[in-house]
Amino acid sequence: MAGKTINIKLKIWRQAGENKPGKFESYEVNDVSVDMSFLEMLDVLNENELKKGSDPIHFDHDCREGICGMCSLYINGKPHGPKHGITTCQLHMRTFSDGETIVVEPWRASAFPVLKDLVVDRTSFDRIMQAGGYVTVSTGGVPDANEIAIPKTVADEAMDAAQCIGCGACVAACKNASAMLFTSAKVSQLALLPQGGAERKRRALAMVEQHDAEGFGACTNTGACEAVCPKEISITHIARLNREFTRASFSGNETDYQN
Amino acid sequence: MSWQKSLSSTIGRKIMMSLSGILLILFLAGHVSGNMTLLMGKADAFNMYAHFMSTNPLVQVVANVFKLFFLAHIVYAIILTAQNKKARGGQAYKVTNKDGSQVSKYMGVLGSVIAVFLVVHLAQYWAVMHELRGEISTTTIDGVEMKDLYSVVAVSYANPMIVAAYVISMFVLAFHLWHGFASAFQTLGLNNKRYTPIIAFLGKAYSIIVPVLFGAIPVVMFLNS
Amino acid sequence: MSLESKIPAGPLAEKWEKHKFNVKLVNPANKRKFNIIVVGTGLAGASAAATLAELGYNVDAFCFQDSPRRAHSIAAQGGINAAKNYQNDGDSVFRLFYDTIKGGDYRSREANVHRLAEVSTEIIDQCVAQGVPFARDYGGLLDNRSFGGAQVSRTFYARGQTGQQLLLGAYSALTKMVNTGKVKMHTRKEMLDVVTIDGAAKGIVTRDLVTGKVESHAGHAVLLCTGGYGNVFFLSTNAMASNGSAAWRAYKKGAKFANPCFTQIHPTCIPVHGDYQSKLTLMSESLRNDGRVWVPKDKKHAKITAAEAVKLPESERDYYLERRYPSFGNLVPRDVASRNAKMVCDEGRGVGVTGLAVFLDFADAIKRDGQKTIEAKYGNLFDMYKQITADNPYEVPMMIYPAVHYTMGGLWVDYNLSTNVPGLYALGEANFSDHGANRLGASALMQGLADGYFVIPYTIGDYIATLPLGQAVDKSNPAFAEAEKAAQARIDKLLNIKGNQTPDDIHKKLGHIMWEYCGMSRNKEGLEKARGMIQELRKEFNKDLKVIGANEELNMTLEKALRLEDFLELGELMVIDAHNRSESCGGHFREESQTEEGEALRQDEEFSYVAAWGYEGEGKDPSLTKEDLVFENVKLTQRSYK
């Protein structure tokens, strides 16, 4: 398309593998169409690199429509780039100006080790989910879907939390690399819904325990997480997690959770 | 999970920070209202207040409890800071994130300054009052002999350097409270569409009013000296 | 060879009930003696893995993403159909069955589709119990909307992210079973081959995408829940790494591939804007409820921009869908809308810089209902459009163009979802069974979950019960080592070509061929030409491919090359199938078979069958087995939307 184009400079973190040293490399990409997405710009760069015989820059990505949570990238000091409420794959080059230098880094946190270049290992999130991010219900034998009425406002708030795509931007932005926003989104969703009620204590305790075991930090209520969350999940859910956790820790009747 | 275990989790530790923080906020309120006697222009009022505070047995109990909260607040802060630093990992970002509350990112630094201030402050007055350091004269009010702390204070606040140091420290305290007040409620899970804005407002008002009052004391006394 | 579909006898509505009674059961205590491999963790895979583990089987689940939650089911927007009739508007299991079979242009099995409609209601119950936050009305009960031209409101939804919420529900069930130890999760591992012993599937070969390690895994049965192959076109609405390799490798190990040419092309996508384009973004079909589709009447106004379009007088506009289909207008089914868009662009009346786009105009709707109302209905979609194109759809018309979205074809399966290879199953989009030649909106999610939660847990017993008890699959069987060796050899071959073209270079060429000759409309000459072109391109691939780096590292170029190698063969089979089926039906439009008005014309006498293709060896033509489709409960009619 004969639209507007810009020239940009990039400083990108390159690292051959986990536990290997990494460093920034500089690149230049010219005639970048402003209609390109940021990842398409990287595709173009990678095709050029590959043709030159250099290993392309590895980065995670998949759906490219902002929902799978696979893409990451810490762009100019901000997870998913400078705009609000979107993922990196939804970021377009028109956001940048001609001649600009863009610094691209991987998510950094002890619990997210770099696998290669900009690709990090986020399986710690899966393990937090495995600790309790579910309702223990087997397939079949469940009541009719309309058996329990749930007020619209409650369902809507649960949906606000449920929108989390598990990308890890919250951890990347947090000065403490805390995964409280991620953990709270699931705890909050299931605490709001009657279906999640039976296990709410066990869930809050187990998920926080796993969160800590993975080496994520504590929440300092800075709010950087909600500012960068592509799904704009609010830290009120962290407050709800704190409430759930406190209640589970200090109320009686904790027989449903032994460790 | 046992409650002991809960307390050693990230949230448990944060709860300890917030509970001790809220109690310290209450302490500040008591402290500043008592200190207002310094501005009444008469040494007696302050000295009576100081005498009461250092002799009343109930106050002694409360004071010891508050010492524990100070200690807890500091110890948990150190543990959490170390834990958070470890979580962040060895490799720092080249360009750092500017989102979120800026003050909250410096709570540790602000807290450390306050801790230093606290040591100096205690050495300057508390230690003197308890005759651990320096000398203190006595005065007799309504037939009761008591220590003349007012004179100690008045002498120190005649020194512009000390006044400046106090004022700066109160700025630091203001910033610490600016984040700490509302944050304590968030940590305790007290976040709610209806009440959070009120808490946030109170927190900001408090974090301005209390340090201003504290800071006004040395300034006014300096100007009057 | 004939294919046994194993459709139970008896009246349609009783088939599934009766079948569930007739399938062999595996004693609960014995289930733990069997291992099942599930490849893919989308709706079908996650739900199957979780449910089988709940029943007691030991499950190994595989996905190539970093987490099972990333599977592309997550991107489905609109909703999921279920015959709940909560709205009291006359819906029923039979109506859902009928709509689906008619929507599929009578190229799917009655029994399978009816079963799908039957279990649809259970899916909703299951998801709600898992904590899926479906939209609710003010009374607190579940809300429904009408979708995809259905005349009843039977679509359940969770904002515009229904696929995400359903997948996260299935993912939660899966993680629950991972926590119990019944499911072992293998992430960032891509399947490279099926291992068969004595003609039965006994395991798979995978490549660890981080370390490059090629290894095999044994199981008593293998379930392929690996989605569709729309990325054969390079550009599609599929995720970047979605691929057809698992199904294709199964095909090369003897499984039949059914109706490969049945591709769904979605009419409302954001048009291609440059060579660098990596994927196409779908705009919800619901936009056609209020938007009017048009192009300029005269070629001299072709390629105008959206801003210029606002100034073009009404008399110069051709609202071609309203003109050609007065009764359905802009709401004609997906295939019809797509084909018409292509037609007007082929006439040289397309808009936008490329001339490959049509307008979707909301000016009248905004004038009629006010911007507020339109914003409430489509606000998030309008924002998304603006985000991508920088055009404001409240002020200028949107530009849309069709894009490949879903593949109805897939591995041939019987009523039990078993391929013709014993022990090898295909679920969800990876199989061919339920959508015929065209899939209706909001039914892909339904099928994925139906297969995983409610079909396979019963039907797999029929096979497992025939296996000797307590006998683990023998990993020392040479079949495993051979399959590993073959996979390793393939990798080495690709790494050693050392040519000049990147995988994307070649993939784009394949995409162009497929789109041009096997896309929205197809003809005999074009398909013959395309077959030759694909064969040539394959030679080019084998001679001139460039892959950098080693196997023993995270190597995304190698991943692409492996997937592309399979696409290059699968593409040819699609062309062969499209060539064979000289009728038009659903998404498959053969120019030779159309009505006088230019609409798709089915040839029921000749083509009322499933075309199941079998691999006959390298360089040989595939064999065709026909499974006749028998319709006892619906009358075949020509679709008309005039």
Provide the 10 A C-beta neighbour count for residue B173: 22
Q: What is the domain count for chain B?
A: 1
- The CATH number given to whatever domain includes residue C379 is 3.90.700.10
Please check whether residue C74 touches A, CB under 8 A: yes
- Is residue C294 within 8 Å of residue C317, measured between CB atoms? yes
| In a domain? residue C444 | yes
Does one domain contain both C193 and C208?
Answer: yes
pLDDT tens across C69-102, in order? 999 999 998 899 999 999 999 999 999 999 999 9
pLDDT tens across C388-446, in order? 999 999 999 999 999 999 999 999 999 999 999 999 999 999 999 999 999 988 999 99
Q: What is the pLDDT of residue C149?
A: 66
Tell me the residue type at C439: R
Give the confidence band of C1 by pLDDT, cuts at 50, 70, 90.
low
Coil/strand/helix, residue C131: coil
Does one domain contain both C212 and C292?
Answer: no
Dmax (CA) of chain B: 68
- pLDDT higher than 90, residue C599: no
Which CATH code is given to the segment(s) A5-105?
A: 3.10.20.30
Please check whether residue A9 touches B, CB under 8 A: no
Separation of alpha carbons C586 and C287, rounded Å:
22
Tell me the residue type at A43: D
Nearest CB among A41, A47, A116 relative to C502 is that of A47
- Note every long-range contact of C122-125, with CB atoms under 8 Å and residues 24 or more positions apart, other chains counting: C122/A140, C122/C453, C122/C454, C123/C80, C123/C82, C123/C446, C123/C449, C123/C450, C123/C453, C123/C454, C124/A145, C124/C80, C124/C82, C124/C84, C124/C156, C125/A142, C125/A143, C125/A144, C125/A145
Point out the domain boundary residue: C390, C405, C420.
C405
Q: What is the pLDDT of residue A259?
A: 39
In degrees and rounded to multiples of 5, residue B147 shows phi and psi of -75, 145
Burial class (CB in 10 A: 0-12, 13-18, 19+), C141: middle
Q: What is the pLDDT of residue C146?
A: 84
- Is residue A72 within 8 Å of residue B63, measured between CB atoms? no
Please check whether residue C241 touches A, CB under 8 A: yes
Does one domain contain both C92 and C210?
Answer: yes
Please check whether residue C264 touches A, CB under 8 A: no
| In a domain? residue C253 | yes
Strand spans (E) along C12-64: 35-39, 58-62
> What residue ranges do the domains of chain A occupy?
5-105, 123-250
Separation of alpha carbons C131 and C124, rounded Å:
11
| In a domain? residue B9 | yes
Point out the domain boundary residue: C437, C464, C491.
C464
Q: Which residues of A touch B107 (CB under 8 A)?
A: 220
Separation of alpha carbons A140 and A48, rounded Å:
53
Separation of alpha carbons B132 and C504, rounded Å:
80
| In a domain? residue C289 | yes
Give the confidence band of C333 by pLDDT, cuts at 50, 70, 90.
confident
- The CATH number given to whatever domain includes residue B179 is 1.20.1300.10
Does one domain contain both C316 and C332?
Answer: yes
Within the 113-172 window of chain A, which residues sit less than 8 Å (CB to CB) from chain B? Answer: none
Q: Is the pair B, C in contact (3+ CB pairs within 8 Å)?
A: no
Does one domain contain both C277 and C362?
Answer: yes
pLDDT tens across B49-84, in order? 999 999 999 999 999 999 999 999 999 999 999 999
Please check whether residue B130 touches A, CB under 8 A: no
Does one domain contain both C71 and C60?
Answer: yes
- Looking at this predicted complex, what is its ipTM? 0.97
| In a domain? residue C146 | yes
Does one domain contain both C210 and C313?
Answer: no
Q: In the annotation, is C639 catalytic?
A: no
| In a domain? residue C35 | yes
Does one domain contain both C106 and C45?
Answer: yes
| In a domain? residue C505 | no
Q: Which residues of B touch A249 (CB under 8 A)?
A: 1, 3, 6-7, 12
Q: Which residues of B touch A180 (CB under 8 A)?
A: 10
- pLDDT higher than 70, residue A254: no
The boundaries of the domain holding residue B112 are 3-89+103-224
Q: Which residues of C touch A165 (CB under 8 A)?
A: 164
Does one domain contain both C83 and C168?
Answer: yes
**Given a contact as 3+ CB pairs under 8 Å, which chains touch B?**
A
Point out the domain boundary residue: C357, C378, C405.
C405
Nearest CB among A109, A240, A243 relative to B88 is that of A109
CB contact under 8 A, A24 and B84: no
pLDDT tens across B172-209, in order? 999 999 999 999 999 999 998 888 999 999 999 999 99
Separation of alpha carbons C454 and C51, rounded Å:
9
Q: How far is B160 from chain A (nearest CA, A)?
A: 36
Does one domain contain both C258 and C269?
Answer: no
Give the confidence band of A258 by pLDDT, cuts at 50, 70, 90.
very low
Q: Which residues of C touch A90 (CB under 8 A)?
A: 387-388
**How high does pLDDT run on average in chain C?**
95
Q: Which residues of A touch C554 (CB under 8 A)?
A: 17, 58, 115-116, 119
Stated as kind and residue range, the H or E segment containing C398 is strand C398-407
Does one domain contain both C233 and C291?
Answer: no
Within the 19-38 window of chain A, which residues sit less than 8 Å (CB to CB) from chain B? Answer: 22, 24
pLDDT tens across A131-188, in order? 999 999 999 999 999 999 999 999 999 999 999 999 999 999 999 999 999 999 999 9
CATH architecture of A123-250: Orthogonal Bundle (1.10)
Q: Is the pair B, A in contact (3+ CB pairs within 8 Å)?
A: yes
Nearest CA in chain B to A84: B99
- The CATH number given to whatever domain includes residue C176 is 3.50.50.60
Does one domain contain both C256 and C271?
Answer: no
Q: What is the pLDDT of residue A252?
A: 66
- Selected for mutation to probe chain A from B5, B22, B91 (highest A CB count within 10 Å) is B91
- pLDDT higher than 90, residue A3: no
Coil/strand/helix, residue C24: coil
Q: What is the pLDDT of residue C182?
A: 98
- pLDDT higher than 80, residue A1: no
Structure tokens of C95? 């109506």
Burial class (CB in 10 A: 0-12, 13-18, 19+), C632: exposed
Q: What is the pLDDT of residue B135?
A: 86
Q: How far is A228 from chain C (nearest CA, A)?
A: 17
Nearest CA in chain A to C72: A63
Q: What is the domain count for chain C?
A: 2
The boundaries of the domain holding residue C229 are 12-262+408-464
Q: What is the pLDDT of residue A49?
A: 96
